[in-house]
């Protein structure tokens, strides 16, 4: 079952991923399960810095900052995804347990 | 726009360009597809300023987004006829030359006496850097904390981000087209609202609302169905995608809409995707004009392809301006080859090992060597490989890049790709593009500067 959609972008060497609940009632599941620590484990080996999480309950969304995600970012980066455009769908690969 | 019985009711601000290189048809469609009051065009990304600075150093009459001029040639007669005003940061590092070029075009179109161009400058700090450093403004890198003096001799461009107010000043002085240097993307949308509704400089909630409106439409169609993940297969007629229009009201509420008969979709989910795009701390979206709190935004579907935005709260602006410095960093090159089934993945991996061994054997030193296998792990890394049967892949593109301060090392790397066609793993093709070219890296250095150090300047050019 799909719980969320997402969009990502860049700020220097940091990628941001906005994770948006597909239905308002899914938001609490995301808040409980998609923690900064969980996302850091998910992206282990792909990012060099910490993960920060911010909550936007008004939009049923979480915003993640993935530091050190872009090989220096912008013009410095050698990555195909130098601007972090598809970290969004990479986060959507994360599987969470639904509450019973 | 001015109903009987009082001031302006609503103002329509249409997005025409979301970046330099955006769809050339969009501005024309925005000014002809239905009623609008303002056309906003955002041209400047962080790296753009250094490219423009380079062009200006070769020819002092350049340094602005050149595409803007033919685009204006196409729409100016309509814009003048309908009384539409334009805000655009197409001026880059040479707004005066850009304005002159637009004025020349307007004269050719016989619009003499019918067009006033506002020019906003004062953002360019390149000539003032040494003075600022000498006076103790260190312009420390916001990410690394290092002072700008570390790279001073390699600086190519330095610009402060100006906000909406100098654009407002130009509009108040009767400008029909406002051409700016480094004005924030959001300021180009906020300025028409301040001007139309006479918002005060300390009306923080209203300024924050206008900033949210600006953020929503600054990437053009990215809020009206473009690059939209939710329900993407059913978003109608992207070939004729309608770019967004803000319908703003004096109380700070606004609606996002598009012209009738256009493609794309404006939905709460799609607008939400754009709101979180390039977001840092959502409670503190800092601009020169205010601090907007994105956790206060309320969205509702107000009709087909129409989203209503309300509730936005703001806080006082800081006493700093963000400064974007571009500096020479080094060189890079990226080469690619395509390996075919069977064992496409293994062959590409093997080729990567061979190439790296040869680079090491040559004693070449690189700050970074980066390998991706496009079709397998280039974008999602190990997350993709966990579920992929790599043995079945019909083809894989080996993409390998290097970065160095040393140009000869990068040049030698570019000559090590093609030999692999004959002296590396088999079933290789896709080299028709020839040897990769070394590219100069101009990197971005974000910093803060006291607002009092920057004096925006507004001039008018009469056509």
Residues 6+ apart with CB under 8 A from A85: A8, A9, A10
CA distance B51 to B40: 22
Cα B64 vs. chain centroid, distance in angstroms?
A: 14
Q: B269 and chain A: CB distance < 8 Å anywhere? A: yes
What confidence score (pLDDT) does residue B432 get? 75
Assembly ipTM: 0.98
What confidence score (pLDDT) does residue B58 get? 92
What confidence score (pLDDT) does residue B8 get? 65
CB contacts under 8 A, B 206-265 vs A, are 227, 229-230
| Cα nearest neighbour of B442 on chain A | A75
What confidence score (pLDDT) does residue B169 get? 98
CB contacts under 8 A, B 52-111 vs A, are none
Cα of B281 to nearest chain A Cα, Å: 7
Q: Residue B39 — left, alpha, or beta (φ > 0 → left; ψ -120 to 50 → alpha)?
A: beta
What confidence score (pLDDT) does residue B4 get? 45
Cα of B229 to nearest chain A Cα, Å: 7
Which residues is B303 bridged to in the sheet?
B306
From chain B, pick out residues whose CB is under 8 angstroms from the CB of A90. 379-381, 383
Q: Map residue B454 onto helix, strand or coil.
A: coil
Say yes or no for a CB contact (<8 Å) between B277 and A9.
yes
Residues 6+ apart with CB under 8 A from B113: B462, B463
Cα of A85 to nearest chain B Cα, Å: 9
CB contacts under 8 A, B 287-306 vs A, are 294-299
Cα of A99 to nearest chain B Cα, Å: 24
- Tell me the domain boundaries of chain B: 11-123+161-318, 329-444
Say yes or no for a CB contact (<8 Å) between B283 and A54.
yes
Q: A26 and chain B: CB distance < 8 Å anywhere? A: no
Tokens standing for residue B57: 């150093």
Which residues is A17 bridged to in the sheet?
A8, A64
Locus of tokens 């607002």: B451
Say yes or no for a CB contact (<8 Å) between B229 and A54.
no
Name the residue among A8, A9, A12 with its Cβ closest to that of B446: A12
Domain B329-444 belongs to what architecture? 2-Layer Sandwich (3.30)
Q: Which helix (H) or strand (E) holds B216?
A: helix B204-217
Residue A66 banded pLDDT, cuts 50, 70, 90: very high
Say yes or no for a CB contact (<8 Å) between A93 and B380.
yes
* Distance spanning both ends of chain A, measured CA to CA: 14
Q: Stretch A56-63: mean pLDDT, rounded?
A: 98
Cα of B272 to nearest chain A Cα, Å: 7
DSSP-assigned letters across all residues of A37-74: HHHHHHTBTTBSS-EEEEEEGGGTEEEEEETT-STT-T
Ordered mean pLDDT values, 10 residues apiece, chain B (463 residues): 57 97 97 98 87 90 96 98 98 97 98 98 97 98 96 96 98 98 98 98 98 98 98 98 98 98 98 98 98 98 98 98 96 97 98 98 97 97 92 96 97 97 96 89 95 98 96
Say yes or no for a CB contact (<8 Å) between B143 and A13.
yes
Tokens standing for residue A96: 């969470």
CA distance B49 to B325: 9
Output the CA torsion sign for B406, B59, B449, A66: negative
A&B contacts, CB < 8 Å? 125
């Amino acid at each position: 079952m799909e719980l969320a959609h997402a969009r990502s972008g860049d700020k220097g060497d940091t990628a941001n991923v906005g994770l948006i609940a597909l239905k308002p009632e899914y938001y609490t599941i995301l808040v409980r399960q998609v923690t900064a620590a969980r996302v850091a484990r998910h992206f282990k080996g792909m990012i060099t810095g910490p993960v920060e999480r911010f909550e936007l309950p008004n939009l049923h969304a979480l915003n993640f900052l993935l530091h050190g995600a872009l090989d220096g970012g912008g013009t410095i980066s050698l990555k195909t995804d130098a601007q972090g455009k598809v970290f969004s769908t990479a986060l959507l690969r994360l599987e969470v347990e639904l509450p019973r | 726009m001015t109903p009987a019985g009082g001031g302006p009711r609503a103002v329509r601000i249409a997005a025409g360009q979301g970046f330099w290189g955006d769809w050339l048809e969009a501005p024309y469609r925005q000014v002809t597809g239905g009623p609008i009051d303002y056309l906003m065009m955002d041209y400047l990304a962080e790296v753009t300023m250094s490219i423009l600075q380079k062009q200006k150093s070769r020819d002092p009459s350049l340094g602005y987004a050149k595409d803007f001029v033919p685009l204006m040639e196409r729409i100016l007669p309509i814009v003048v006829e309908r009384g539409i005003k334009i805000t655009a940061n197409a001026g880059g590092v040479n707004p005066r030359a850009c304005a002159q070029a637009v004025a020349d075009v307007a004269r050719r179109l016989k619009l003499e006496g019918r067009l006033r161009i506002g020019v906003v400058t004062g953002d360019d700090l390149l000539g003032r850097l040494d003075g600022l450093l000498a006076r103790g403004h260190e312009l420390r890198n916001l990410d690394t904390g290092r002072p700008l003096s570390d790279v001073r001799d390699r600086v190519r461009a330095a610009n402060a981000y100006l906000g909406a107010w100098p654009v407002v000043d130009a509009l108040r002085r009767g400008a029909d087209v406002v051409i700016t240097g480094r004005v924030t993307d959001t300021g180009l949308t906020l300025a028409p609202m301040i001007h139309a509704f006479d918002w005060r400089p300390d009306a923080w909630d209203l300024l924050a609302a206008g900033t949210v409106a600006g953020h929503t439409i600054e990437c053009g169609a990215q809020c009206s169905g473009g690059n939209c993940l939710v329900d993407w297969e059913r978003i109608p007629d992207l070939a004729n995608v309608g770019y967004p229009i803000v319908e703003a009201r004096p109380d700070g509420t606004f609606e996002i809409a598009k012209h009738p008969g256009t493609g794309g979709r404006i939905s709460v989910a799609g607008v939400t995707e754009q709101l979180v795009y390039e977001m840092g701390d959502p409670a503190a979206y800092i601009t020169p004009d205010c601090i907007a709190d994105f956790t206060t935004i309320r969205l509702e579907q107000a009709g087909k392809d129409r989203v209503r935005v309300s509730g936005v709260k703001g806080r006082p602006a800081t006493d700093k301006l963000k400064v974007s410095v571009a500096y020479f960093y080094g060189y890079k090159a990226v080469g690619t080859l395509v390996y075919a089934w069977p064992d496409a993945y293994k062959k590409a991996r093997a080729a990567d090992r061979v190439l790296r061994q040869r680079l090491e054997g040559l004693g070449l030193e690189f700050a970074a060597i980066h390998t991706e296998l496009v079709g397998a792990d280039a974008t999602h890394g190990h997350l993709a490989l966990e579920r992929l049967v790599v043995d079945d892949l019909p083809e894989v593109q080996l993409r390998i890049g290097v970065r160095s301060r040393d140009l000869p090392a990068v040049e030698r790397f570019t000559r090590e790709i093609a030999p692999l066609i004959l002296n590396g793993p088999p079933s290789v093709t896709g080299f028709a593009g020839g040897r990769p070219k070394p590219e100069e890296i101009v990197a971005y250095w974000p910093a803060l500067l006291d607002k009092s150090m920057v004096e925006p300047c507004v001039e008018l050019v009469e056509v």
